[in-house]
Structures are given as C-alpha cells and as structure tokens.
Amino acid sequence: MRQNLVNQKGMSIVELLIAVLISSIVFFGLVVPFIADRSFWGAGRRQAQAQRDAQLALHTIARYGHESAGYTWVGSGGQYTIAFNVPCPGVTPGPGVPIGTGTVVFQTGPSFNKGRFDMVDNCSGGKRAILIDGVRSKVTNFVVTPISSGNLVTVKLKVTYENQMSETLQTQVFMHNS
C-alpha cells in the first residue's frame, strides 16, 4: 500500500498553494506599475489640456493686441475685461472710438460665467467666441500689467483643468498701432 502512494503522479495541496502564492506575487508585481502609469498619463493629459487652453487664449489676445491702437483694462470682483481698439474698415465705431476702428473685447475671470473666457468681436457685428468653456477648463486668474508708455503690456493667465491641474502662462503684447 505504501508503494501506491509513492508512485502516484500529480500535485499535492501544498505544491498548489505555493504555485498560487508565487503567481499572485508576480501578478501584483506587474499590475501595480500599470495602474500607476495610467494615473500619470491622466495627470499629464490634464496638464497638457490646461496649457493648450491657456495658449489659445493668450495667442488670440496677442493677435488682436498687435493690431491695436490701444487698450482698456478693467478688473474687479473676479471679473476682468480687456478691450483692444483694432482696425476695422467699413465699420461705424461707437462713441470715443476713432473712425475705421472697432473693439475686440475679452471677458474672463473666476466670477465670469464660472471661469469662462469669451471674446466679443465688435468688428464682426458683436460675434462672441468662447475660448475657454468654464466647464472643464476655468480661468482662475487674469492680470494685465502695462510695461511702457501704453504700447507694451504683460498678460498673465492661469487656467485650471478639471479642478486638478493648473497652468499659468504669460506673454508680452506689443501694440504696433499705438
């Protein structure tokens, strides 16, 4: 009878448990880096989106600022407005705006439509473009600082994406026509 037990082929319960334990260690050793990598990828994506939104807004401001003959800046209570006087042939301007020019107005701030960033082009009949939607990306700070005699300003914009990642960008705008 003893010979039958020795000659039997197969695995014992102890061998099976050791195999399961080793497999579990290898599995969890491989899964943890994949989970961490996924969270890093998500954070990088949010950071890139915040940066892209801020760059779009700043490039648009710079484009109209370069064409402008001057600007006005109002900022209080978390709402900020910068308006550029830009060439606008064929448009009858409002009071205080020279003939042949119009205004392009940028409105933003944490208190403006939940952080939205809008552009109103009065040269095109007051068309409004939403540059930052205020849903996923929100403007949390916007500062315009004059540098020299009215024709050079620094524009600083802070955008937060999904309330997690923030990006602060800054540019200088030289107004050629001032």
**Domains of the chain, residue spans:** 41-174
Q: What is the pLDDT of residue 107?
A: 92
- What's the mean pLDDT in 21-37? 86
Average pLDDT (34-61) is 86
Q: What is the pLDDT of residues 94-114, one digit of tens each?
A: 555 555 677 899 999 888 888
User: 3 pLDDT band (50/70/90 cuts)?
Assistant: low
Strand order in the sheet with 152-161: 137-148, 152-161, 165-174
pLDDT of residue 7: 59
Count Cα neighbours of 124 within 13 Å in the Cβ-side half-sphere: 8
Average pLDDT over residues 69-78: 85
- Round the average pLDDT of the chain to a whole number and report it: 83
- pLDDT score at 98: 54
Whether the CA torsion 124, 129, 49, 157 is positive or negative: it is positive
| pLDDT, position 42 | 82
